A and B are shown apart, each in its own frame.
Chain A
Amino acid sequence: MTLEPTPAMKRPEDDLVVRAHTDRAAFGQLYDAYYPAIFRYCFRRLFVRAVAEDVTSEVFLVVASKMPRFAGTTDEDFRRWVFRIATNEVNAYLRQTKRRRALLESAARSGDLAASVCPAVGDGGVERLDWPALYRAILSLKPCEQAILHLRFFEQMSHEQIAGVLQKRPASVRVGLSRALEKLRCQFRIDERHVTVHTR
């Protein structure tokens, strides 16, 4: 349950959201604050930068046009709302098989291997995962599972926050996350008994 903030508890970020309903400059500041996060979310979900920029554009144009009708009054309200719009736009984009295929092909072709391949089994321990391979694995999941994974691991959202974005119950988010991780483990064929992790 979320407590309604008292005037004493109101944060500057919340005040910005309230002002941004009608104030142009405030909306601009809100845009500046959220553009990086939304773009990165779209980019991680869509792999191709140009596509991510397109969809990010869609998101903010929707946000701008609906700002007068947005009912939220806190930064958290706005965060959930903008990520909800972003999730819907990304899912809508991925709904077309042709687009998903194109993204998979991009990931397969990608030479941008910042990390080595799959966690090694044996004495070497777990190294880093290959992003294109990871992306392809995530893309094979259901859209909802993809969204949960991204929001959890890349946006560091809690189950409750993810539930607010996706308009689900927190319990459903936990179950969805668990299923998504299990599918990923199967994809990478990780043998838990043989893996060691170098802690920092």
Chain B
Amino acid sequence: MKLDENTLARLIEQAGPDDTLRPEHQRQLREQSLAAFDIAQAKPTRRAFGPTLADYGRWIVRSPISRVAAMIVLVVAVGGVAIWFYGGGATYAFADFVAPILEAKTAKFKITTEMKGQPTLTSEVMVLDAARQRQEAEMPNKTKGITITDFTRGKSLTLDPASKKALVITYAGLTKKQVAQQNMFAQFRSILLDARDKPGIKREPLGEKEIDGRRVVGFRVKMVGTELSLWGDPKTGLPVRVEQTVGLYGNTRVTMSDFVFNVPMDESLFSVEPPAGYTVQNQTVDASPATEKDLIGTFRIYCELCGGVFPDSLDTQPMMMKVGMRIGMMVASKSAMQTVREKLASGKQKLSEEQIRKVEEAMDKILEWQLDSAKKPNEEELRKTVGLKEAMEALAGGKGKLSEEEIHKNAQAAAAKNSEAGMKEFMKVQTPLQRGLIFVFTLPANADAHYAGKGVTTGTLDRPIFWYKPTGAKTYRVIFADLSVRDAEMPPKVAGAQAVPAASSGEKK
């Protein structure tokens, strides 16, 4: 039999894909289409002179960037010629609003960061190129903080104009690829590229709304590790607002707005040399690619500082907060105990070293209670502690028993007094703590990484707390609570293990 059109037709028909409809998409699009229908009905319709349209579809002018910028229709009718100019209703795809961001040589925009339990931070950002950026942030205490980064020089400069203090950080060990990717804007562009081009990414139209009196159209993109909503102005084809949920567990919301592209910028604004008149502090940070060893280091430091218990989750913000508070408490406690020791030593009641140690323990518990209201110490035990009353009186400056409010005030005052010392201690551990988390964040999706350390005490034998499969490896690497590491053919089975979201476009390891 000859393989003709009919035969080939039958074969082609049989070969079709599984094209089952997705009811959710059908339903959502129905609502959006009806909304668009309503808007179109509300607009006055322009009518051509003469007969109706014949072939408007032939005459479409498309710009290289936008899919439909304007439509010009030529209608030839019996008895006359009519021209109907249709100037509105341009249709934009997600890719069109992303294009100006991807193609910009320079950019200025506002960025607002909202984190649960934290004050909202607003910054003005200027981007000169992929490696140079300037961010002016409004701090919670209403002062301004300026951070300038220049990754080709491997440096950042943070300025506090109010106190005339400058911090210069040198990033040692940066690879070329890291230089290209460190800049916040470059990382954002990388996410947008994935959102635009990666097959299988879910993009859904959000319809229209008004932002600052402008009609905008929106798109939502869901990717591993982040969710992004982009709103654009169909009149200009430019992005108006981008809202992104970030953080390992989606607990941080970042909004970028007020975009201005390709404006000339003064290069001197991006200099990482401290201005004259500033007190300069220098710091070197190891910026080389993070490894498994760094993660073990993170666990070690965290447990040492936080009572020997692993974090509830590998989420940067809560972990850093807890470490910061513990360090603050330790510094305040140390300072307070110094005062107490001096007073007890010069007081009427002489206490032994053991008794003074017990007083210090009790004071620690009270201070910890100020930081965490859930940790109210056992009052009866405290009452039994010899010398505690005198110690509290010593702290109160001889005023007698302190109320809870006064204790809290004193703790805050001590913390404020010791904030500089506390900050210095925190900065010693900040980078090694973060490096382990960077290692986790940049694991690819197929690493199948999991964390199971919540509530586990360091040193517990044979208790897996983290595992992952390195790229190209046949076995898993398993980190145990005693910080030993072993290879395993299969991932451990631990109840409550949390899957670690992979980076949206992380480097492969």
Contact = CB atoms under 8 A, between A and B. Distances in A.
Contacts of B60: 88
Given A54-B203, A185-B8, A192-B2, A65 B39 contact: yes
Contacts of A197: 1, 3, 7, 10
Interface in B256-298: none
Nearest to A196: B1
Nearest to B84: A69
A102 B199 CA distance: 7
Contacts of A68: 40-41, 43, 45
A57 interface: yes
B29 interface: yes
A112 B19 CA distance: 12
A99 B67 CA distance: 14
Contacts of B29: 35, 56-57, 60
B492 to A, nearest CB: 29
A32 B19 CA distance: 16
B13 A154 contact: yes
B203 A103 contact: no
A82 to B, nearest CB: 12
A186 interface: no
Nearest to A177: B5
A24 interface: yes
A81 B333 CA distance: 77
Given A44-B19, A184-B8, A115 B14 contact: yes
A95 to B, nearest CB: 9
Contacts of B201: 50
A8 interface: no
A114 interface: yes
A140 interface: no
A172 interface: no
A78 interface: no
B33 A60 contact: yes
A130 B12 CA distance: 9
A112 B37 contact: no
B16 A64 contact: no
A47 B52 CA distance: 36
B399 to A, nearest CB: 68
Contacts of A31: 30, 33-34
B21 interface: yes
Interface string A71-82: 100000000000
Interface string B172-207: 000000000000000000000000011111111100
Interface in B1-57: 1-3, 5, 7-19, 21-22, 25-26, 29-30, 32-34, 36-41, 43, 45, 52-53, 55, 57
Contacts of B203: 50, 54
Contact of A57 (B40, B67, B205): B205
Given A167-B57, A190-B3, A27 B91 contact: no
A181 B5 CA distance: 7
B401 to A, nearest CB: 67
Contacts of A128: 11, 14-15
B32 to A, nearest CB: 7
Most buried by A among B3, B13, B30: B3
Contacts of B5: 177, 181
A19 interface: no
Given A84-B57, A98-B197, A112 B40 contact: no
A40 B38 contact: no
B89 interface: yes
Interface in A22-81: 22, 24, 27-28, 31-32, 35-36, 39-40, 43-44, 47-51, 53-54, 56-58, 60-69, 71
Contacts of A105: 199
A66 B40 contact: yes
B40 A153 contact: no
A163 interface: no
B220 to A, nearest CB: 12
Contacts of B167: none
A120 to B, nearest CB: 12
B58 interface: yes
B62 interface: yes
B89 to A, nearest CB: 5
A103 to B, nearest CB: 7
B9 A54 contact: no
B93 interface: yes
Interface in A107-165: 112, 114-115, 119, 126, 128-131, 134-135, 149, 152-154
B57 A88 contact: yes
B12 A67 contact: no
Contact of A106 (B19, B199, B205): B199
B89 A65 contact: yes
Contact of A67 (B2, B21, B37, B93): B37
A69 B13 contact: no
Given A39-B21, A48-B199, A167-B57, A64 B8 contact: no
A171 interface: no
A88 to B, nearest CB: 7
A115 B19 contact: no
Nearest to B71: A66
Contacts of A129: 11-12, 14-15
A130 B17 CA distance: 9
A70 B3 CA distance: 42
B199 A103 contact: yes
Nearest to B42: A68
B14 A153 contact: no
Given A105-B199, A128-B11, 10 more contacts: A27-B34, A50-B201, A58-B91, A71-B53, A112-B18, A115-B15, A119-B3, A134-B15, A153-B13, A197-B7
11 contacts: A35-B21, A36-B21, A48-B200, A54-B94, A57-B32, A65-B40, A103-B199, A106-B200, A130-B15, A153-B9, A197-B10
Which 7 A-B pairs have CB atoms at the shortest separation, nearest pair first?
A64-B36, A129-B15, A71-B52, A64-B37, A64-B33, A60-B33, A153-B12
Interface of A: 22, 24, 27-28, 31-32, 35-36, 39-40, 43-44, 47-51, 53-54, 56-58, 60-69, 71, 84, 88, 92, 98-99, 102-103, 105-106, 112, 114-115, 119, 126, 128-131, 134-135, 149, 152-154, 167, 177, 181, 184-185, 190, 192, 195-197
